[in-house]
A and B are shown apart, each in its own frame.
Chain A
Amino acid sequence: MSTSFGDDTGPDDPLAARLRDALTSEAAMVTPSDDGLQQIRSGIDQQTKRPWWKHPATPALAAALVLGVMAGGVAVFAGGDNKDDNVVASQPSTSTSTSESSESAQPEPSDPPATGTPTPVSVEGDVYVYYAMDDGQSPRLYREQRPNPGTDPVTAAVTTMVTEPPLDMDYYSLWPKGTKLLDESVAGDTATVNLSKFPTLGAEAETAAVQELVYTVTANDTSVKKVRLLVGGKAPQSGHDDWSKPVTRAPMMDVQGWIWLLAPTEGATTSSPVAIQGYGTAFEGTISWEVTKNGVKVAEGTTQGGSNGEFGDFSDTVELDPGSYQIRAFEASAEDGSPIHVDTKMFTVK
Protein backbone atom coordinates (compact mmCIF):
# COMPACT_ATOMS: atom_id res chain seq x y z
CA MET A 1 0.00 0.00 0.00
CA SER A 2 1.44 3.30 -0.93
CA THR A 3 0.11 6.32 0.83
CA SER A 4 1.22 9.65 -0.52
CA PHE A 5 3.87 11.05 1.71
CA GLY A 6 5.54 14.39 1.66
CA ASP A 7 9.11 13.28 2.21
CA ASP A 8 11.47 11.99 -0.38
CA THR A 9 11.01 8.36 0.55
CA GLY A 10 8.81 6.84 -2.10
CA PRO A 11 7.01 3.52 -1.76
CA ASP A 12 9.60 1.88 -3.96
CA ASP A 13 12.46 2.75 -1.65
CA PRO A 14 14.15 -0.54 -0.79
CA LEU A 15 14.68 0.60 2.78
CA ALA A 16 10.94 1.20 3.13
CA ALA A 17 10.29 -2.33 1.95
CA ARG A 18 12.85 -3.76 4.38
CA LEU A 19 11.32 -1.81 7.23
CA ARG A 20 7.82 -2.93 6.33
CA ASP A 21 8.89 -6.56 6.19
CA ALA A 22 10.74 -6.39 9.47
CA LEU A 23 7.85 -4.73 11.29
CA THR A 24 5.27 -7.08 9.87
CA SER A 25 7.27 -10.12 10.82
CA GLU A 26 7.98 -8.78 14.30
CA ALA A 27 4.31 -7.91 14.82
CA ALA A 28 3.19 -11.36 13.73
CA MET A 29 5.05 -12.82 16.69
CA VAL A 30 2.91 -10.88 19.12
CA THR A 31 -0.15 -12.82 20.18
CA PRO A 32 -2.41 -11.10 22.67
CA SER A 33 -3.79 -13.18 25.50
CA ASP A 34 -7.43 -14.24 25.45
CA ASP A 35 -8.69 -12.23 28.35
CA GLY A 36 -8.34 -8.75 26.84
CA LEU A 37 -12.04 -8.05 26.61
CA GLN A 38 -12.56 -9.25 30.16
CA GLN A 39 -9.78 -6.95 31.38
CA ILE A 40 -11.29 -4.02 29.51
CA ARG A 41 -14.73 -4.66 30.99
CA SER A 42 -13.37 -4.85 34.47
CA GLY A 43 -11.47 -1.62 33.78
CA ILE A 44 -14.73 0.00 32.72
CA ASP A 45 -16.44 -1.23 35.88
CA GLN A 46 -13.72 0.33 37.96
CA GLN A 47 -14.07 3.68 36.25
CA THR A 48 -16.43 4.98 38.85
CA LYS A 49 -14.17 3.92 41.67
CA ARG A 50 -10.85 5.32 40.55
CA PRO A 51 -9.49 7.18 37.55
CA TRP A 52 -8.56 4.88 34.72
CA TRP A 53 -5.76 7.24 33.88
CA LYS A 54 -2.57 5.49 34.79
CA HIS A 55 -0.16 7.32 32.56
CA PRO A 56 0.15 11.07 32.55
CA ALA A 57 -0.13 12.31 29.03
CA THR A 58 1.95 14.73 27.05
CA PRO A 59 0.21 18.06 26.65
CA ALA A 60 -1.02 18.19 23.10
CA LEU A 61 -2.28 14.68 23.09
CA ALA A 62 -3.51 14.95 26.59
CA ALA A 63 -5.67 17.84 25.64
CA ALA A 64 -7.09 15.92 22.73
CA LEU A 65 -7.38 12.71 24.62
CA VAL A 66 -8.89 13.62 27.88
CA LEU A 67 -11.75 15.68 26.58
CA GLY A 68 -14.20 12.92 26.21
CA VAL A 69 -12.88 10.65 28.82
CA MET A 70 -14.83 9.78 31.85
CA ALA A 71 -12.90 9.05 34.94
CA GLY A 72 -14.22 8.21 38.30
CA GLY A 73 -13.96 11.24 40.45
CA VAL A 74 -13.85 11.36 44.16
CA ALA A 75 -15.85 13.61 46.35
CA VAL A 76 -14.21 15.59 49.04
CA PHE A 77 -15.83 18.19 51.16
CA ALA A 78 -14.25 20.44 53.63
CA GLY A 79 -15.51 23.04 55.99
CA GLY A 80 -18.72 21.32 56.94
CA ASP A 81 -21.91 21.07 55.00
CA ASN A 82 -23.61 24.22 56.00
CA LYS A 83 -24.06 25.47 52.53
CA ASP A 84 -24.43 29.16 53.02
CA ASP A 85 -21.52 30.22 55.11
CA ASN A 86 -18.67 28.06 54.01
CA VAL A 87 -16.71 28.20 50.86
CA VAL A 88 -16.04 24.68 49.86
CA ALA A 89 -14.44 23.30 46.79
CA SER A 90 -15.75 19.93 45.86
CA GLN A 91 -13.96 17.59 43.56
CA PRO A 92 -16.02 16.14 40.77
CA SER A 93 -18.24 13.47 42.12
CA THR A 94 -19.60 12.17 38.89
CA SER A 95 -18.29 12.10 35.49
CA THR A 96 -20.16 13.74 32.72
CA SER A 97 -23.10 15.76 31.62
CA THR A 98 -26.15 13.78 32.38
CA SER A 99 -27.67 13.81 28.95
CA GLU A 100 -26.64 10.30 28.09
CA SER A 101 -25.41 9.02 31.37
CA SER A 102 -27.70 6.04 31.26
CA GLU A 103 -25.78 4.79 28.27
CA SER A 104 -22.55 4.64 30.17
CA ALA A 105 -24.28 3.20 33.20
CA GLN A 106 -22.37 5.30 35.67
CA PRO A 107 -23.78 4.82 39.11
CA GLU A 108 -23.97 7.82 41.35
CA PRO A 109 -20.80 7.60 43.38
CA SER A 110 -21.25 7.36 47.08
CA ASP A 111 -17.65 6.72 47.97
CA PRO A 112 -16.31 8.56 50.97
CA PRO A 113 -13.65 11.19 50.37
CA ALA A 114 -10.50 9.56 49.14
CA THR A 115 -7.31 10.01 51.04
CA GLY A 116 -4.74 12.29 49.53
CA THR A 117 -7.28 14.68 48.10
CA PRO A 118 -6.88 18.26 49.18
CA THR A 119 -8.77 20.03 51.84
CA PRO A 120 -9.35 23.41 50.30
CA VAL A 121 -8.92 26.39 52.49
CA SER A 122 -12.23 27.65 53.66
CA VAL A 123 -12.20 31.38 53.79
CA GLU A 124 -15.06 33.28 55.30
CA GLY A 125 -16.44 35.78 52.87
CA ASP A 126 -14.52 34.61 49.80
CA VAL A 127 -15.75 32.64 46.86
CA TYR A 128 -14.05 30.37 44.36
CA VAL A 129 -14.23 31.47 40.74
CA TYR A 130 -13.02 29.41 37.82
CA TYR A 131 -11.37 30.87 34.76
CA ALA A 132 -9.68 29.30 31.77
CA MET A 133 -6.19 29.24 30.34
CA ASP A 134 -5.09 27.47 27.18
CA ASP A 135 -2.80 24.57 27.76
CA GLY A 136 -1.73 23.15 24.44
CA GLN A 137 -4.92 22.84 22.46
CA SER A 138 -7.79 23.24 24.85
CA PRO A 139 -8.78 25.70 27.52
CA ARG A 140 -8.43 24.24 30.99
CA LEU A 141 -9.85 25.56 34.24
CA TYR A 142 -7.99 27.48 36.93
CA ARG A 143 -9.37 28.71 40.22
CA GLU A 144 -9.10 32.05 41.93
CA GLN A 145 -10.27 33.02 45.37
CA ARG A 146 -12.19 36.27 45.16
CA PRO A 147 -14.05 38.42 47.68
CA ASN A 148 -17.77 38.04 48.08
CA PRO A 149 -19.43 41.46 48.00
CA GLY A 150 -22.11 40.15 50.32
CA THR A 151 -24.63 38.18 48.33
CA ASP A 152 -25.05 34.43 48.40
CA PRO A 153 -21.83 32.67 47.38
CA VAL A 154 -23.10 31.17 44.12
CA THR A 155 -24.50 34.48 42.92
CA ALA A 156 -21.30 36.26 43.93
CA ALA A 157 -19.06 33.68 42.26
CA VAL A 158 -20.98 33.51 38.98
CA THR A 159 -21.30 37.28 38.83
CA THR A 160 -17.55 37.61 39.35
CA MET A 161 -16.89 34.96 36.69
CA VAL A 162 -18.89 36.76 34.00
CA THR A 163 -18.20 40.38 34.91
CA GLU A 164 -14.81 40.60 36.63
CA PRO A 165 -11.51 39.91 34.91
CA PRO A 166 -9.30 37.36 36.64
CA LEU A 167 -6.43 38.62 38.81
CA ASP A 168 -4.03 36.52 36.79
CA MET A 169 -3.87 38.06 33.33
CA ASP A 170 -2.98 34.73 31.77
CA TYR A 171 -6.50 33.57 32.59
CA TYR A 172 -9.75 34.56 30.96
CA SER A 173 -13.41 33.73 31.24
CA LEU A 174 -14.86 31.66 28.44
CA TRP A 175 -18.14 33.55 28.79
CA PRO A 176 -18.67 36.43 26.36
CA LYS A 177 -18.13 40.04 27.43
CA GLY A 178 -21.30 41.60 28.73
CA THR A 179 -22.79 38.33 29.99
CA LYS A 180 -25.01 38.95 33.00
CA LEU A 181 -26.38 36.64 35.64
CA LEU A 182 -30.14 37.08 35.30
CA ASP A 183 -31.29 34.63 37.90
CA GLU A 184 -30.07 31.75 40.04
CA SER A 185 -31.94 29.28 42.19
CA VAL A 186 -31.33 25.94 43.84
CA ALA A 187 -33.80 23.08 44.16
CA GLY A 188 -32.55 19.84 45.66
CA ASP A 189 -29.15 19.09 44.16
CA THR A 190 -29.75 21.16 41.04
CA ALA A 191 -28.94 24.81 40.57
CA THR A 192 -30.64 26.67 37.76
CA VAL A 193 -28.51 29.48 36.38
CA ASN A 194 -30.00 31.91 33.91
CA LEU A 195 -27.40 33.92 32.01
CA SER A 196 -27.91 36.59 29.38
CA LYS A 197 -25.46 35.19 26.80
CA PHE A 198 -24.01 31.91 25.63
CA PRO A 199 -20.52 31.53 24.20
CA THR A 200 -20.15 31.07 20.48
CA LEU A 201 -17.06 28.89 20.51
CA GLY A 202 -15.92 25.59 19.14
CA ALA A 203 -17.25 22.41 20.70
CA GLU A 204 -14.31 21.98 23.07
CA ALA A 205 -14.33 25.55 24.31
CA GLU A 206 -18.10 25.51 24.65
CA THR A 207 -17.90 22.43 26.83
CA ALA A 208 -15.15 24.11 28.83
CA ALA A 209 -17.31 27.23 29.26
CA VAL A 210 -20.19 25.16 30.60
CA GLN A 211 -17.76 23.36 32.91
CA GLU A 212 -16.33 26.71 34.03
CA LEU A 213 -19.84 27.58 35.17
CA VAL A 214 -20.53 24.15 36.69
CA TYR A 215 -17.25 24.10 38.61
CA THR A 216 -17.83 27.64 39.87
CA VAL A 217 -21.38 26.93 41.03
CA THR A 218 -20.60 23.60 42.68
CA ALA A 219 -17.47 24.94 44.38
CA ASN A 220 -19.54 27.47 46.26
CA ASP A 221 -22.48 25.31 47.24
CA THR A 222 -21.65 21.69 47.95
CA SER A 223 -25.29 20.67 48.02
CA VAL A 224 -25.39 21.39 44.30
CA LYS A 225 -24.38 18.50 42.05
CA LYS A 226 -25.91 19.63 38.77
CA VAL A 227 -26.41 22.89 36.99
CA ARG A 228 -29.28 23.56 34.66
CA LEU A 229 -28.17 26.27 32.30
CA LEU A 230 -30.60 28.75 30.82
CA VAL A 231 -29.80 31.58 28.46
CA GLY A 232 -32.43 34.29 28.51
CA GLY A 233 -34.73 31.85 30.28
CA LYS A 234 -34.44 29.08 27.69
CA ALA A 235 -32.15 26.12 27.08
CA PRO A 236 -29.09 27.42 25.20
CA GLN A 237 -28.94 26.96 21.47
CA SER A 238 -25.77 25.14 20.61
CA GLY A 239 -24.54 23.66 17.42
CA HIS A 240 -22.37 21.25 19.36
CA ASP A 241 -24.20 19.69 22.20
CA ASP A 242 -27.49 19.41 23.97
CA TRP A 243 -27.38 21.48 27.15
CA SER A 244 -31.07 21.18 27.95
CA LYS A 245 -30.45 18.76 30.82
CA PRO A 246 -28.62 19.59 34.05
CA VAL A 247 -24.86 19.19 33.75
CA THR A 248 -22.55 17.70 36.38
CA ARG A 249 -18.84 18.34 36.83
CA ALA A 250 -16.68 16.62 34.25
CA PRO A 251 -13.70 14.76 35.71
CA MET A 252 -10.82 16.97 36.75
CA MET A 253 -8.48 15.21 34.34
CA ASP A 254 -10.72 16.31 31.50
CA VAL A 255 -11.08 19.96 32.28
CA GLN A 256 -8.88 21.20 35.09
CA GLY A 257 -5.52 22.90 34.68
CA TRP A 258 -2.78 20.40 35.36
CA ILE A 259 -0.91 22.63 37.78
CA TRP A 260 -2.43 25.43 39.79
CA LEU A 261 -0.19 27.85 41.61
CA LEU A 262 -2.38 29.05 44.48
CA ALA A 263 0.15 30.94 46.59
CA PRO A 264 1.61 33.45 46.30
CA THR A 265 -1.47 34.87 44.62
CA GLU A 266 -1.20 37.23 41.69
CA GLY A 267 -0.07 40.67 42.82
CA ALA A 268 0.36 39.61 46.44
CA THR A 269 2.77 41.29 48.82
CA THR A 270 4.24 38.79 51.21
CA SER A 271 7.20 38.32 53.50
CA SER A 272 10.14 35.96 53.27
CA PRO A 273 10.24 32.98 53.57
CA VAL A 274 7.55 32.84 50.92
CA ALA A 275 5.12 29.94 51.08
CA ILE A 276 4.57 28.28 47.72
CA GLN A 277 1.31 26.39 47.49
CA GLY A 278 -0.55 24.73 44.70
CA TYR A 279 -2.58 21.86 43.50
CA GLY A 280 -1.91 19.67 40.53
CA THR A 281 -0.73 16.53 38.90
CA ALA A 282 2.49 15.70 37.08
CA PHE A 283 4.52 12.74 35.95
CA GLU A 284 5.72 10.96 39.08
CA GLY A 285 4.18 13.84 41.02
CA THR A 286 7.19 16.03 40.40
CA ILE A 287 6.22 19.69 40.32
CA SER A 288 9.01 22.14 39.53
CA TRP A 289 9.04 25.79 40.47
CA GLU A 290 11.25 28.68 39.57
CA VAL A 291 11.46 32.27 40.83
CA THR A 292 12.82 35.00 38.59
CA LYS A 293 13.62 38.64 39.18
CA ASN A 294 13.76 40.84 36.08
CA GLY A 295 13.97 37.71 34.02
CA VAL A 296 16.92 36.28 35.96
CA LYS A 297 16.41 33.05 37.84
CA VAL A 298 17.04 33.53 41.56
CA ALA A 299 15.64 30.31 43.04
CA GLU A 300 14.25 26.99 41.96
CA GLY A 301 13.13 23.72 43.41
CA THR A 302 10.93 20.70 43.04
CA THR A 303 8.21 19.35 45.25
CA GLN A 304 5.62 16.59 45.21
CA GLY A 305 2.10 16.98 43.89
CA GLY A 306 -0.36 14.42 42.61
CA SER A 307 0.49 11.80 40.02
CA ASN A 308 -1.09 9.00 38.03
CA GLY A 309 -4.22 10.95 37.33
CA GLU A 310 -4.72 12.13 40.90
CA PHE A 311 -4.45 15.79 41.69
CA GLY A 312 -2.75 16.67 44.92
CA ASP A 313 -1.57 19.57 47.02
CA PHE A 314 2.00 20.69 46.75
CA SER A 315 3.96 23.18 48.79
CA ASP A 316 7.43 24.51 49.34
CA THR A 317 9.09 27.62 50.72
CA VAL A 318 11.67 29.99 49.36
CA GLU A 319 13.70 32.73 51.01
CA LEU A 320 13.87 35.92 48.99
CA ASP A 321 15.19 39.43 49.50
CA PRO A 322 12.69 42.28 49.27
CA GLY A 323 11.69 43.02 45.68
CA SER A 324 9.33 42.05 42.87
CA TYR A 325 9.38 38.53 41.52
CA GLN A 326 7.73 36.15 39.15
CA ILE A 327 7.18 32.55 40.12
CA ARG A 328 6.14 29.74 37.87
CA ALA A 329 5.18 26.18 38.69
CA PHE A 330 5.37 23.55 35.99
CA GLU A 331 6.09 20.01 34.97
CA ALA A 332 9.46 19.42 33.30
CA SER A 333 8.57 17.62 30.10
CA ALA A 334 9.92 14.10 29.95
CA GLU A 335 10.69 14.72 26.32
CA ASP A 336 13.25 17.48 26.72
CA GLY A 337 12.87 18.97 30.19
CA SER A 338 11.10 22.06 28.90
CA PRO A 339 8.40 23.50 31.16
CA ILE A 340 4.86 22.35 30.41
CA HIS A 341 1.57 23.04 32.20
CA VAL A 342 2.97 26.31 33.47
CA ASP A 343 1.12 28.58 35.89
CA THR A 344 2.74 31.93 36.65
CA LYS A 345 2.23 34.61 39.32
CA MET A 346 3.80 38.02 39.98
CA PHE A 347 4.35 38.95 43.61
CA THR A 348 6.32 41.24 45.87
CA VAL A 349 8.41 40.48 48.93
CA LYS A 350 8.44 43.30 51.46
Chain B
Amino acid sequence: MTATPAWGADDAVTHLYAAHYRALVRLAALLLRDTATAEEVVQDAFVAMHGAWRRLEDPDRALAYLRQSVVNGARSALRHRGVVERHAPAPLPDGASAEHGAMVALEHAEVLTALRSLPVRQREVLVLRYYVDLAEADIADAMGISRGAVKSHASRGMAALRTTLEASR
Protein backbone atom coordinates (compact mmCIF):
# COMPACT_ATOMS: atom_id res chain seq x y z
CA MET B 1 0.00 0.00 0.00
CA THR B 2 1.50 3.24 -1.04
CA ALA B 3 1.52 6.42 0.91
CA THR B 4 -0.35 9.35 -0.55
CA PRO B 5 2.15 11.52 -2.37
CA ALA B 6 2.41 15.05 -1.17
CA TRP B 7 2.28 16.27 -4.76
CA GLY B 8 0.08 15.27 -7.62
CA ALA B 9 1.74 14.58 -10.95
CA ASP B 10 1.04 18.12 -12.20
CA ASP B 11 2.58 19.67 -9.09
CA ALA B 12 5.58 17.40 -9.43
CA VAL B 13 6.15 18.59 -12.99
CA THR B 14 5.87 22.23 -11.96
CA HIS B 15 8.22 21.92 -8.99
CA LEU B 16 10.81 19.78 -10.71
CA TYR B 17 10.70 21.99 -13.76
CA ALA B 18 11.51 25.03 -11.68
CA ALA B 19 14.32 23.29 -9.87
CA HIS B 20 15.95 21.20 -12.57
CA TYR B 21 14.84 22.04 -16.09
CA ARG B 22 17.76 24.29 -16.92
CA ALA B 23 20.37 21.91 -15.53
CA LEU B 24 18.84 18.97 -17.37
CA VAL B 25 18.76 20.87 -20.66
CA ARG B 26 22.41 21.73 -20.14
CA LEU B 27 23.23 18.11 -19.43
CA ALA B 28 21.43 17.05 -22.61
CA ALA B 29 23.11 19.82 -24.59
CA LEU B 30 26.53 18.63 -23.45
CA LEU B 31 25.67 15.16 -24.66
CA LEU B 32 24.06 16.34 -27.89
CA ARG B 33 25.72 19.63 -28.85
CA ASP B 34 22.33 20.91 -29.91
CA THR B 35 20.18 22.99 -27.60
CA ALA B 36 16.92 22.56 -29.50
CA THR B 37 17.11 18.77 -29.46
CA ALA B 38 18.30 18.90 -25.86
CA GLU B 39 15.15 20.76 -24.91
CA GLU B 40 12.95 18.26 -26.72
CA VAL B 41 14.65 15.38 -24.97
CA VAL B 42 14.18 17.00 -21.56
CA GLN B 43 10.58 17.90 -22.29
CA ASP B 44 9.88 14.30 -23.28
CA ALA B 45 11.50 13.21 -20.03
CA PHE B 46 9.14 15.45 -18.03
CA VAL B 47 6.12 14.16 -19.90
CA ALA B 48 7.24 10.62 -19.10
CA MET B 49 7.90 11.55 -15.50
CA HIS B 50 4.37 12.93 -15.22
CA GLY B 51 3.05 9.54 -16.30
CA ALA B 52 5.35 7.71 -13.93
CA TRP B 53 4.75 9.95 -10.94
CA ARG B 54 2.32 7.50 -9.37
CA ARG B 55 5.24 5.09 -9.00
CA LEU B 56 7.94 7.62 -8.24
CA GLU B 57 6.12 9.66 -5.64
CA ASP B 58 9.19 11.41 -4.40
CA PRO B 59 11.21 14.22 -5.90
CA ASP B 60 14.57 12.47 -5.56
CA ARG B 61 13.40 9.40 -7.39
CA ALA B 62 11.72 11.61 -9.95
CA LEU B 63 14.98 13.46 -10.55
CA ALA B 64 16.84 10.16 -10.96
CA TYR B 65 14.14 9.10 -13.42
CA LEU B 66 14.45 12.37 -15.32
CA ARG B 67 18.20 11.90 -15.59
CA GLN B 68 17.77 8.38 -16.91
CA SER B 69 15.27 9.58 -19.45
CA VAL B 70 17.53 12.43 -20.53
CA VAL B 71 20.63 10.25 -20.95
CA ASN B 72 18.60 7.70 -22.80
CA GLY B 73 16.78 10.24 -24.93
CA ALA B 74 20.02 11.99 -25.83
CA ARG B 75 21.55 8.69 -26.87
CA SER B 76 18.55 7.88 -29.04
CA ALA B 77 18.63 11.31 -30.61
CA LEU B 78 22.31 10.86 -31.42
CA ARG B 79 21.61 7.48 -32.92
CA HIS B 80 18.81 8.94 -34.97
CA ARG B 81 21.05 11.77 -36.09
CA GLY B 82 23.67 9.24 -37.15
CA VAL B 83 21.13 7.46 -39.30
CA VAL B 84 19.75 10.65 -40.78
CA GLU B 85 23.24 11.85 -41.62
CA ARG B 86 24.05 8.63 -43.38
CA HIS B 87 20.94 8.99 -45.49
CA ALA B 88 21.24 12.71 -46.06
CA PRO B 89 24.90 13.59 -45.95
CA ALA B 90 24.35 17.26 -45.21
CA PRO B 91 26.91 19.09 -43.10
CA LEU B 92 26.00 18.80 -39.44
CA PRO B 93 25.34 22.12 -37.77
CA ASP B 94 27.94 22.26 -35.12
CA GLY B 95 25.70 23.48 -32.34
CA ALA B 96 26.42 25.74 -29.46
CA SER B 97 30.04 24.94 -28.97
CA ALA B 98 31.16 25.87 -32.45
CA GLU B 99 29.07 29.00 -32.62
CA HIS B 100 30.61 30.19 -29.44
CA GLY B 101 33.91 28.57 -30.15
CA ALA B 102 35.69 31.84 -30.59
CA MET B 103 34.56 33.02 -27.21
CA VAL B 104 35.52 29.89 -25.34
CA ALA B 105 39.03 29.71 -24.12
CA LEU B 106 41.12 27.61 -26.48
CA GLU B 107 41.78 25.37 -23.56
CA HIS B 108 38.09 24.53 -23.16
CA ALA B 109 37.61 23.93 -26.85
CA GLU B 110 40.51 21.56 -26.92
CA VAL B 111 39.19 19.52 -23.97
CA LEU B 112 35.67 19.43 -25.38
CA THR B 113 36.86 18.33 -28.80
CA ALA B 114 38.78 15.51 -27.22
CA LEU B 115 35.72 14.57 -25.14
CA ARG B 116 33.60 14.41 -28.27
CA SER B 117 35.92 11.94 -29.89
CA LEU B 118 35.20 9.41 -27.14
CA PRO B 119 32.72 6.56 -27.47
CA VAL B 120 29.27 7.60 -26.35
CA ARG B 121 29.23 5.79 -23.00
CA GLN B 122 32.62 7.06 -21.94
CA ARG B 123 31.48 10.55 -22.79
CA GLU B 124 28.26 10.09 -20.83
CA VAL B 125 30.10 8.88 -17.75
CA LEU B 126 32.52 11.81 -17.83
CA VAL B 127 29.76 14.39 -18.32
CA LEU B 128 27.68 12.90 -15.51
CA ARG B 129 30.69 12.79 -13.28
CA TYR B 130 32.34 16.12 -13.99
CA TYR B 131 29.41 18.28 -14.96
CA VAL B 132 26.54 16.88 -12.89
CA ASP B 133 28.89 15.73 -10.10
CA LEU B 134 27.09 12.45 -9.67
CA ALA B 135 28.46 9.64 -7.55
CA GLU B 136 29.34 6.36 -9.21
CA ALA B 137 26.11 4.65 -8.09
CA ASP B 138 23.98 7.49 -9.46
CA ILE B 139 25.81 7.40 -12.77
CA ALA B 140 25.21 3.66 -12.95
CA ASP B 141 21.55 4.32 -12.27
CA ALA B 142 21.26 7.11 -14.83
CA MET B 143 22.89 5.03 -17.54
CA GLY B 144 21.37 1.69 -16.68
CA ILE B 145 24.77 0.03 -16.35
CA SER B 146 26.69 -1.52 -13.48
CA ARG B 147 29.00 0.40 -11.17
CA GLY B 148 31.88 -1.66 -12.51
CA ALA B 149 31.05 -0.54 -16.03
CA VAL B 150 30.88 3.09 -14.88
CA LYS B 151 34.32 2.70 -13.38
CA SER B 152 35.83 1.20 -16.49
CA HIS B 153 34.19 3.72 -18.85
CA ALA B 154 35.47 6.53 -16.62
CA SER B 155 39.03 5.33 -16.46
CA ARG B 156 39.19 4.48 -20.15
CA GLY B 157 37.64 7.80 -21.05
CA MET B 158 40.11 9.72 -18.91
CA ALA B 159 43.04 7.74 -20.31
CA ALA B 160 41.92 8.44 -23.87
CA LEU B 161 41.44 12.15 -23.12
CA ARG B 162 44.89 12.32 -21.62
CA THR B 163 46.42 10.69 -24.69
CA THR B 164 44.56 12.94 -27.12
CA LEU B 165 45.39 16.11 -25.25
CA GLU B 166 49.04 15.22 -24.88
CA ALA B 167 49.31 14.28 -28.54
CA SER B 168 47.98 17.70 -29.55
CA ARG B 169 50.68 19.54 -27.65
Partners in one complex: yes
A296 interfacial contact with B, CB 8 Å: no
B51 vs chain A, min Cβ distance (A): 3
Contact partner of B22 (CB less than 8 A), chosen from A23, A29, A32, is A32
- Given A52-B48, A61-B68, A65-B69 in contact, is the A4-B144 Cβ separation under 8 Å? no
B22 and A15 form a contact (CB under 8 A): no
Is B100 positioned at the interface, with any CB of A under 8 Å from its CB?
yes
A43 close to B (CB within 8 Å): yes
What residues of A have a CB within 8 angstroms of the CB of B100 in the complex?
29
For B61, give the chain A residue with the smallest CB separation: A68
Say whether A18 faces chain B, with CB atoms less than 8 Å apart. yes
Interface string of A31-64 (1 = CB under 8 A from B): 1110011011101100100001111111011101
Complex Cα distance, B54 from A100, in Å, reads 7
| Chain B residue at minimal CB-CB distance from A96 | B54
The yes or no answer to A20 lying at the interface (CB within 8 A) is yes
Given A6-B147, A54-B44, are A23 and B104 neighbors across the interface (CB < 8 Å)?
no
The A-contacting residues of B in range 24-56, CB under 8 angstroms, are 25-27, 29-30, 35, 38-39, 41-44, 46-48, 50-56
A67 within 8 A of B: yes
- Closest chain-A Cβ to B133's Cβ sits at a distance in Å of 5
Q: Chain B's interface: helix, strand, loop or mixed, by majority?
A: helix
Q: Which residues of A contact B76 (CB under 8 A)?
A: 55-58, 283
Q: Given the known A-B contacts A19-B130, A44-B13, A54-B44, are A3 and B136 also in contact in the complex, defined by CB atoms under 8 Å?
A: yes
**Are A36 and B17 in contact (CB-based, < 8 A)?**
yes
Question: CA separation between A30 and B34, bound complex, in Å?
Answer: 9
B35 surroundings in chain A (CB, below 8 A): 30-32
Q: What is the distance, in angstroms, from B2's C-beta to the closest C-beta of chain A?
A: 7
A5 CB contact (under 8 Å) in B14, B48, B71, B136:
B136
Which of A5, A23, A32, A68 touches B151 (beta carbons < 8 Å)? A5
A60 to chain B: closest residue by CB: B144
Closest approach, in angstroms, between the C-beta of A182 and any C-beta of chain B? 24
A55 touches B136 (CB 8 A): no
Partner of A43, one of B14, B44, B107: B44
A30 touches B29 (CB 8 A): yes
B19 at the interface (CB under 8 A from A): no
Whether B129 contacts A1 by the Cβ 8 Å rule is: no
Contacts of B143 in A (CB 8 A): 61
Residues of B contacting A28 in the complex (Cβ-Cβ under 8 angstroms): 26
Closest beta carbon of chain A to B92's beta carbon, Å: 17
**Pick from B1, B21, B55, B130: contact of A20, CB under 8 Å:** B130
CB distance A20 to B131 under 8 Å?
yes
How many residue pairs bridge A and B at CB < 8 Å?
194
Are A9 and B79 in touch, CB under 8 angstroms? no
The reply to whether the CB of A78 lies closer than 8 angstroms to some CB of chain B is no
- Please give the distance in Å from A153's CB to the nearest CB on chain B: 31
Report whether B133 and A1 are in contact in the complex, using a CB–CB cutoff of 8 Å: yes
Task: Please give, as numbers and ranges, the residues of chain B lying within 8 Å of A100 by CB-CB distance.
Answer: 54
Q: Are A15 and B165 in contact (CB under 8 A)?
A: yes
Pair A65/B72 contact, Cβ less than 8 Å: yes
Give B130 Cβ to nearest chain A Cβ, in Å: 5
Give every chain B residue within 8 A of A70 (Cβ-Cβ): 51-52
If A29-B100, A55-B72 touch, does A69 touch B54 (CB 8 Å cutoff)?
Answer: no
Decide if A133 is an interface residue (CB 8 Å cutoff). Answer: no
A69 proximity list for chain B (CB < 8 A): 48, 51-52
For residue B8, CB closer than 8 A to chain A, the reply is yes
Chain B proximity of A308: nearest CB distance (Å)? 10
User: Cβ of A53: which chain B residues have Cβ within 8 Å of it?
Assistant: 48
B-side contacts of A284, CB under 8 Å: 83
The listed residue with most A CB atoms (<10 A of its CB), out of B9, B10, B55, B115, is: B55
Can you give 28 contacting A-B residue pairs, CB < 8 Å?
Answer: A1-B133, A3-B133, A3-B135, A7-B152, A9-B155, A19-B115, A21-B107, A22-B111, A23-B115, A23-B127, A25-B104, A29-B96, A29-B104, A37-B13, A40-B50, A47-B47, A55-B41, A55-B76, A55-B77, A57-B72, A61-B72, A68-B52, A68-B54, A69-B52, A95-B51, A103-B8, A103-B54, A241-B2
A residues within 8 Å of B by Cβ? 1, 3-9, 13, 15-16, 18-33, 36-37, 39-41, 43-44, 47, 52-58, 60-62, 64-65, 67-71, 95-96, 100, 103-105, 241-242, 283-284, 334
Interface residues of chain B, those whose CB is within 8 Å of chain A, are: 1-2, 8-10, 13-14, 17, 21-22, 25-27, 29-30, 35, 38-39, 41-44, 46-48, 50-56, 65, 68-69, 71-73, 75-77, 79-80, 82-83, 96-97, 100, 104-105, 107-109, 111-112, 115, 126-127, 129-131, 133-136, 143-145, 147, 151-152, 154-155, 158, 161-162, 165
Q: A5-B129, A61-B144 are in contact. List 11 more A-B contacts (CB 8 A).
A: A3-B129, A19-B111, A30-B25, A30-B35, A32-B39, A36-B43, A40-B13, A58-B72, A58-B144, A69-B48, A283-B79
